[in-house]
């Protein structure tokens, strides 16, 4: 992915916030992890969104305002992606209280000259534990080997979201010591 295209994509996402299309967002997935660990192959941006409390918003099509905004700006829609400056962006409503918290606690990072909201490394790791796919386990190993995490903060997030048991199993699988 070209940095200029990614930066332009984030400018457009920030415009969505200013326009009230989404209340708040946070970059997650592989691109979010890129801020804290070694790069992995990915072809899109996973942008988790808090949509707000608009009573007119349909529960059947919660992302409709995002797609309408995208079309009004001339962005292509390809299956579940909005393509901004050649960058496929997948907008995902927060699927759990953990992801809602991750959106709220996101850190501001820079991509070029643009500020981007990115999940904290501890929230990214907790989401990986929650999802538990093989690729998430590999990313968790990378987070731990690179020292990207505050383990006490991660443990508290996992405890708060009822993921401690799942974490105990995954921790053994990936060879991470600790409580």
User: Same domain, yes or no, for 53 and 81?
Assistant: yes
Based on its alpha-carbon atoms, the radius of gyration of the chain, rounded to whole angstroms, reads 17
User: Same domain, yes or no, for 48 and 29?
Assistant: yes
Task: Look at residue 2 in the predicted model and tell me its pLDDT.
Answer: 59
User: Same domain, yes or no, for 114 and 128?
Assistant: no
Task: Look at residue 44 in the predicted model and tell me its pLDDT.
Answer: 87
Which of 77, 101, 119 is the endpoint of a domain? Answer: 119
User: Same domain, yes or no, for 102 and 128?
Assistant: no
User: Same domain, yes or no, for 137 and 77?
Assistant: no
- Long-range contacts at 7-10 (CB < 8 A, ≥ 24 apart): 7/111, 7/112, 7/113, 7/114, 8/84, 8/85, 8/87, 9/45, 9/84, 9/85, 9/87, 9/89, 10/111, 10/114, 10/116
Residue 148, domain extent: 122-174
Give the mean pLDDT of 136-148. 87
User: Same domain, yes or no, for 17 and 83?
Assistant: yes
Task: Look at residue 54 in the predicted model and tell me its pLDDT.
Answer: 60
Q: Could you tell me where the DSSP H helices lie in 132-178?
A: 134-145, 151-160, 164-174
Task: Look at residue 60 in the predicted model and tell me its pLDDT.
Answer: 53
Residue 115 lies in a domain: yes
Overall domain count for the chain = 2
Closest CA to 66 of 49, 78, 85, 79: 49
pTM over 0.85: yes
Question: pLDDT tens digit string along 68-86?
Answer: 999 999 999 998 899 998 9
């Amino acid at each position: 992915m070209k940095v200029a295209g990614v930066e332009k994509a984030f400018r457009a996402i920030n415009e969505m916030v200013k326009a009230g299309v989404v209340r708040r967002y946070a970059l997650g997935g592989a691109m979010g992890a890129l801020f804290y660990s070694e790069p992995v192959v990915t072809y899109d941006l996973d942008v988790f969104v808090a949509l707000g409390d608009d009573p007119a918003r349909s529960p059947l099509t919660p992302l409709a305002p995002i797609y309408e905004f995208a079309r009004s700006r001339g962005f292509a829609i390809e299956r579940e992606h909005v393509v901004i400056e050649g960058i496929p962006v997948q907008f995902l409503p927060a699927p759990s209280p953990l992801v809602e918290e991750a959106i709220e606690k996101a850190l501001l990072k820079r991509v070029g000259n643009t500020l981007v909201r990115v999940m904290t490394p501890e929230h990214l790791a907790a989401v990986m534990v929650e999802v538990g796919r093989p690729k998430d386990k590999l990313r968790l190993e990378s987070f731990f080997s690179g020292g990207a995490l505050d383990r006490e903060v991660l443990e508290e997030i996992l405890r708060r979201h009822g993921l401690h048991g799942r974490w105990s199993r995954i921790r053994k699988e990936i060879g991470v010591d600790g409580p």
